[in-house]
Structure 1
Amino acid sequence: SLRSAETCFLIDEERMFQKRAQSKDSIFFRDGVRQIDFVLSYVDDIKKDAELKAERRKEFEQNLRKTGLELEIEDKRDSEDGRTYFVKIHAPWEVLVTYAEVLGIKMPVKESDIPRTENSPLRYMLGPVRLPQEVKFPRPEYFTAQFSRHRQELFLIEDEATFFPSSSRNRIVYYILSRCPFGVEDGKKRFGIDRLLTSNTYSSAYPLHDGQYWKPAEPPSTVNERYTLYQNWARFSYFYKEQPLDLIKDYFGEKIGIYFVFLGFYTEMLLIAAVVGLACLIYGILLMDSNQTSIDICDPEIGGQLIMCPLCDQVCDYWRLNSTCLISKLSHLFDNESTVFFAIFMGIWVTLFLEFWKQRQARLEYEWDLVDFEEEQQQLQLRPEFEAMCKHRKMNPVTKELEPYMPLWNRIPWYFLSGATVTFWMALVVSSMVAVIVYRLSVFATFASFMESEATLQHVKVYFTPQLATSLSGSCLNFIVILILNFFYEKISAWITKMEIPRTYQEYESSLTLKMFLFQFVNYYSSCFYVAFFKGKFVGYPGKYTYLFNVWRSEECDPGGCLIELTTQMTIVMTGKQIFGNIKEAIYPLVFNWWRRRKARTNSEKLYSRWEQDHDLETFGQLGLFYEYLETVIQFGFVTLFVASFPLAPLLALLNNIIEIRVDAWKLTTQYRRPVAAKAHSIGVWQDILYGMAVVSVATNAFIVAFTSDIIPRLVYYYAYSTNITHPLKGYVNNSLSVFLIADFPNHTAPSEKREFTTCSTLCSWLNFCW
């Protein structure tokens, strides 16, 4: 009998090995029946705390089994790299029904009899962008109720193995993992997978993807939602298609799903703003050659005869106004009557966008059963770092249990350090902006010395002025500085937030949101605010110029106005940020995953299993969505805050978001481990930030029209000073200039070498828009 038992054991071992070899992409235990809901991995640690970690793992896994979870461990000898253990976790039916009731998960009780019909009159026109119904609505619509294990007969349970979707299963398992104890240390009960991950007891914890993204499910699996998402959502050839929002929600959870609903809705609204902005640009192009101001500047008899005062001391020479002919025409593209219209339109657009989003969000709450949603428990649970640092206990008045407590006086030093750090870095941003201004002031004279010559000044068309060259190079340098500061601040802000020791994950995310948004607001927009509202406003006048640090003369605007420079700054920073962001999001995980697989696949003869493949993918992390929202909100600022100077901003944002949706879908589907499903009923604090930016945008666009644009001075001249009925703005250029006697220039400001043509004139002109 002993020999027969040994023979049966060997046969079973051989059968299991063959099954593993045949099911490389299996998401089941070795028996091919029990589904893997979660995976833990760890590596043998040879350091001095190896025994402690092993003891923690042993007790943690024993406690997991006590909760009813079933575990199966893969030995490191069977892993591809030969050093990683994998703990596969399955939640049986009794565990699922117990914790589904605890978490209040809503499950179907009856199929809805309300037909899913679209009564929109545009449904036939929008046919090409629609997805197949089986993709858009992967499951029938049900009436639901909170699950009760004692009333299971009320629910539509056809198959226990498929009743709970995979997202609900991994959410339930993570809930258990986050509360499972693993021992008592220093008289305190320790629990939670997060603490074990922080101490490197386990190296990772993640749910599995359904299968490969490039091929459909194979038996015994019946559904591969990952493949469906890739085929209908993550491919770039589907950029014009709508998103399968219900499928995204079912696979990744409501929190990620609502982000893509918001991004899609924002992109749709941008389409309207982009069309109107493009129309305003076309209007400017059509009127570019008929603009009276540009005609006067380009006229050799008007602009060619106006000798302008030097734009810098000693090195810069006198120059003719017609040398800025092309720049004045380009300036009129963005500085015309449509500027005022577009500023008003965008004020209305941003209000409607936020109101329509509130409606869309309310409808989404109903469609996704989030009406009575309560904050996700894992966001409200204590962070392991908080518990580790707390030496005090306080009675919770609700639960009547002792909980870790940190007195306020212990946190105050860190709050001061945090505030000082944020203030320092914001001051550093302003200092870097001043450094860029000093750069422009320093190199302007260099550009002017070899770009301004007598031959140049005698020609009407000048394609590259010193002002334009300085503006372009300064904007590029400013963008590089923005990226460098942003890179370092992300690291420092995360460290500072941890030092504050937030109590919960929600507090941690809120604190980090405030720091990151304040910094990036100043980092990305400070240069735009400077060009829009400060540059050229404190120049002084010939003979009494104002100086920066008593060394450099304050910057003057281009003769075409500062609006064209603001447009240049916006174009370079916004476009550069979007291109850099998309490349980074696509290349970064691709390269790291390739390198990780290359290092892991040292034993090609062994099975490269489903859990190993997912293990070698990039981690999305708890702050993955945070950075996605932050990127979108900063873009929203470019679209709204300075849009009066750049009507193409909504179009650039629209094109970027079309790509962004597919890049995010591609990386989540192919390059990242599957995130743990989490619930959310709104975009959270980001909605309040959007409301604040909308209010600020109305003011900034009004100020741009009033102080940066040339439209107000032209209207004043048109109604108060013009005497020419046929061409009302004829003579506006002359009336916008003041004159100065060349002989009155102090020696330290007059050009060191005078051109011959200046001897024929005793006066030079300078820009003066004060009426």
Structure 2
Amino acid sequence: VIVLQLSSRTKMNTINWLISRIQEEKLLGGAELLCKLAYVSHKDGVILLIGGTLERLLHGAEEKELVKQYKDGTLKPFLYHDRNNFHDFKNKKQLFLTSGECLQLIKHDLDNLRARQEKHVPEVPYAKLYPGKNILNTLATSGLLVQMYPLHNFEELETLKEVWYGKVQVFSQPINAVRNYFGESIALYFSFLGFFTLSLFYRSIFSLILYFLTDKTFNGNMLMAIINIVWSTIFLECWKRKSNKMAFQWGMLHRVEEFEEPRKGFEGPLGINPVTGKKEPIRLPGEWRSLNFIHSFLFVSFSLLVSVLMMLAYLWAKTLAEKYCAIHRNTQSYVIAVLPNVGYAIGVIILNRTYLKLARVFTEWENHRLASTHEYHLVAKLLLFYFFNNFGLLFYAAFYMQDFTEVSEDVATQLITYQILDQIMKSIVPYWINKRKLKKLKQSSETRGGPVLQHVLIEGGLDAYKGLIDDYLEMFLMFGYMMFFSSIFPLASVCCFLNSITEIQLSALKLCDNFQRPFPVPASNIGIWQLAFKCFVILAIIVNCAFLGMSAEFQAVFGDYTGIHLIILVFTFEHLIMGFVTLIEHLIPDVPKNIEIQLKKFEYESRQALKCEKLQQTYIKDNQKLFSSAQRRERQI
């Protein structure tokens, strides 16, 4: 189910050594997987097919403590010796593990394939090894491992495509089927996107009513600002509850968090982990890393400077366009009037995509030891830049120029331009390019081997899936436009709703047809993005309270107050809103009561099982001591 594509310059001794290490028993340091040399070519390189027997995968499920449904309906960690008592194991033995779980288990064994006493990869003296070093990572950095990717299961994929985007369905997605095929991380993203879209539907109806019933300049700001705060808080709290419920059903919520192993791309000397006692790459205590972070800080600062320069160029172009339109009153003047706005929106999109690629390179260069730390630093860089690049000009117009008509026009232009261009660049153009690429790949692979090999070569020619960061960033921006500026431009929520509908369909199409199948990633929530959205809500409370203080309604009610008293009043109102948000968070529990009871029951049973295991070990030790003493007395007699 997994393909390893090696470089055409890989020697046969190296190939045989790698195959033997993959097939070797785990007790001897191997992966204990099936491995077959499928194809050798000067053009395509060397193709190895990796799989696993059902017995090996079941043992791997026990090692990884995969949680499965027991015969009594409860969820329990899988135990190989008790396998027949798990739900549907006897009847559907081959379907007991989902295809996503099989991929996850096999990849875990491959990622933990480490060197023993080898000094270097056979026939490759520059690919240095030491005991415990990751073999596949060494092959990748030395240029021998070209790519590693899982194969699509076409029968399962076609079934998923038919129920997912084969027919138009706005608020219903086969999330469990997506999880079984692509893993929990991708399933949680689409569930979050679907929940966001459904919430926007009700929000958009109210926004349309408010838009047509009130004056289009700035009236209705007070009501919309309050709705922004209440809606965002309830939305995030209800999502946490929904995600915990799904994670529990998938057996992810009460899985014991295993000790995080070093990231595959981490480069460091072999050492002893002080917590687990295992041999693994470590970071030396006195290692100097500040230089890397200084470079990253300079990179972020330079990127922000470029964004500021683009903002200044837009203001200059806007001034020239206004002067031209004041003199010339014709059709051409209307086109020139909107050109700076459209040009700025396009520039923002280009900077966003360029920065994303560069941020990945700089974060990889920082050489973080853990995957969670790596993701945290990458997302932190992205959020800082994306926030400033996308919203900086709008905040400047709102708070410094206090031109809300200008803000409304800019938000509308940026949202519409961003949605159209982003969907074209992210989905439509790649889909069209992929169709042409697939046609060429099928034509070129028809003369090379049977259908299995053709399948392997076609999928190997597709682009690798880059992950969910780009998709989360788009949702993050839509959330920001709506939360910060829908009180000024009420139709922002309608634009975000329409974008989310198309995003579900196009993202599903892109995932199934445009890229190689991604490796499933286990997850119990959306991770750092939950915190990012939470921070956005807090910031949105401050911004909306500031807009509230500047609104016509607020000024009409509290017009007699002086400047400082007005600021104190807004500040007090903001604190009251913060207290209200905290109250809502406490009123809506993160975990439903029935699931909380089952979690406590699961924890109790785990403790009882551990206690029985310890008693059993003590009993065995006592019996061994009695047996040894009896043997000594017998020898004495």
TM-score normalized with structure 1 length: 0.65
Contact 1:234 1:669 in 2 (8 A): no
Contact 1:229 1:669 in 2 (8 A): no
Question: 2:119 aligns to what?
Answer: 184
Change (3 A) 1:705 1:88: same
Distance in 2 between the 1:347 and 1:255 partners?
28
Distance in 2 between the 1:571 and 1:510 partners?
32
Q: For residue 675 of structure 1, report the CA deviation from its aligned partner.
A: 1.5
What residue ranges of structure 2 are gaps of 5+ in the alignment? Answer: 26-31, 121-127, 563-637
Contact 2:149 2:517 in 1 (8 A): yes
Q: How far does the alpha carbon of each residue in 1:278-307 deviate from its partner, in whole angstroms, 9 at most, with x for none?
A: 0011113xxxxxxxxxxxxxxxxxxxxxxx
Distance in 1 between the 2:18 and 2:526 partners?
35
Give the number of aligned pairs.
Answer: 540
Contact 1:447 1:469 in 2 (8 A): no
Contact 1:253 1:679 in 2 (8 A): yes
Q: Which amino acid aligns with 2:263?
A: R
Counterparts of residues 14-413 of structure 1 (less than 5 Å): 37-45=1-9, 50-51=10-11, 55-67=13-25, 68-76=32-40, 83-110=44-71, 112=73, 143-155=74-86, 156-181=89-114, 183-185=118-120, 186=128, 188-189=130-131, 190-211=133-154, 224-235=155-166, 237-240=167-170, 242-284=172-214, 332-336=215-219, 338-375=220-257, 380-387=260-267, 390-391=268-269, 393=271, 396-399=274-277, 401=279, 403-407=281-285, 409-413=287-291
Question: 2:470 aligns to what?
Answer: 627
Question: 1:295 aligns to what?
Answer: none
Q: Which amino acid aligns with 2:23?
A: R
Distance in 1 between the 2:469 and 2:446 partners?
38
SS of the equivalent of 2:289 reads helix
Q: For residue 715 of structure 1, report the CA deviation from its aligned partner.
A: 5.8
Contact 2:229 2:540 in 1 (8 A): yes
Q: For residue 591 of structure 1, report the CA deviation from its aligned partner.
A: 4.1
Distance in 2 between the 1:705 and 1:469 partners?
34
Distance in 2 between the 1:84 and 1:403 partners?
30
Q: How far does the alpha carbon of each residue in 1:363-394 deviate from its partner, in whole angstroms, 9 at most, with x for none?
A: 222222222235577xx33235432xx35746
Change (3 A) 1:688 1:395: closer
Q: Which amino acid aligns with 1:188?
A: Y
Distance in 2 between the 1:489 and 1:385 partners?
21
Contact 2:68 2:251 in 1 (8 A): no
Q: How far does the alpha carbon of each residue in 1:54-98 deviate from its partner, in whole angstroms, 9 at most, with x for none?
A: 544432221111133222222246xxx963432222211231122
Question: 1:136 aligns to what?
Answer: none
Q: Which amino acid aligns with 2:149?
A: Y
Q: For residue 270 of structure 1, report the CA deviation from its aligned partner.
A: 0.7
Change (3 A) 1:465 1:640: farther
Change (3 A) 1:629 1:448: same
Distance in 2 between the 1:241 and 1:381 partners?
38
Q: For residue 360 of structure 1, report the CA deviation from its aligned partner.
A: 1.1
Distance in 2 between the 1:588 and 1:193 partners?
33
Q: Which amino acid aligns with 2:105?
A: I
Q: Which amino acid aligns with 1:102?
A: E
Change (3 A) 1:62 1:348: same
Question: 2:311 aligns to what?
Answer: 433
Change (3 A) 1:200 1:270: same
SS of the equivalent of 1:680 reads coil
Distance in 1 between the 2:338 and 2:209 partners?
26
Q: Which amino acid aligns with 1:360?
A: K
Question: 1:488 aligns to what?
Answer: 354
Distance in 1 between the 2:400 and 2:278 partners?
59
Q: For residue 660 of structure 1, report the CA deviation from its aligned partner.
A: 0.5
Question: 2:124 aligns to what?
Answer: none
Question: 2:628 aligns to what?
Answer: none
Q: For residue 480 of structure 1, report the CA deviation from its aligned partner.
A: 2.3
Distance in 1 between the 2:295 and 2:44 partners?
42
Change (3 A) 1:617 1:401: closer
Q: Which amino acid aligns with 2:17?
A: E
Of 363, 366, 382 in structure 2, the residue corresponding to residue 500 of structure 1 is: 366
Kindly report the root-mean-square deviation, in angstroms, between the aligned alpha carbons of the 2 structures.
2.8
Question: 2:583 aligns to what?
Answer: none
Distance in 1 between the 2:515 and 2:529 partners?
24
Q: Which amino acid aligns with 1:613?
A: I
Distance in 2 between the 1:392 and 1:370 partners?
31
Change (3 A) 1:494 1:603: closer
Contact 1:347 1:698 in 2 (8 A): yes
SS of the equivalent of 2:37 reads strand
Distance in 2 between the 1:86 and 1:149 partners?
33
Q: Which amino acid aligns with 2:240?
A: K
Q: For residue 719 of structure 1, report the CA deviation from its aligned partner.
A: 12
Contact 2:445 2:457 in 1 (8 A): no
SS of the equivalent of 1:644 reads coil
Q: Which amino acid aligns with 1:641?
A: F
Question: 2:458 aligns to what?
Answer: 613
Counterparts of residues 439-450 of structure 1 (less than 5 Å): 439-450=317-328
SS of the equivalent of 1:239 reads coil
Distance in 2 between the 1:408 and 1:703 partners?
47
Q: For residue 592 of structure 1, report the CA deviation from its aligned partner.
A: 4.2
Contact 1:375 1:680 in 2 (8 A): no
Q: For residue 598 of structure 1, report the CA deviation from its aligned partner.
A: 4.9
SS of the equivalent of 1:430 reads helix
SS of the equivalent of 1:85 reads strand
Change (3 A) 1:393 1:401: closer
SS of the equivalent of 1:706 reads helix
Distance in 2 between the 1:476 and 1:408 partners?
51
Q: Which amino acid aligns with 2:47?
A: F
Name whichever of 649-658 and 442-451 sits farther off.
442-451
Q: For residue 611 of structure 1, report the CA deviation from its aligned partner.
A: 2.2
Q: Percent identity?
A: 24
Q: Which amino acid aligns with 1:620?
A: Y
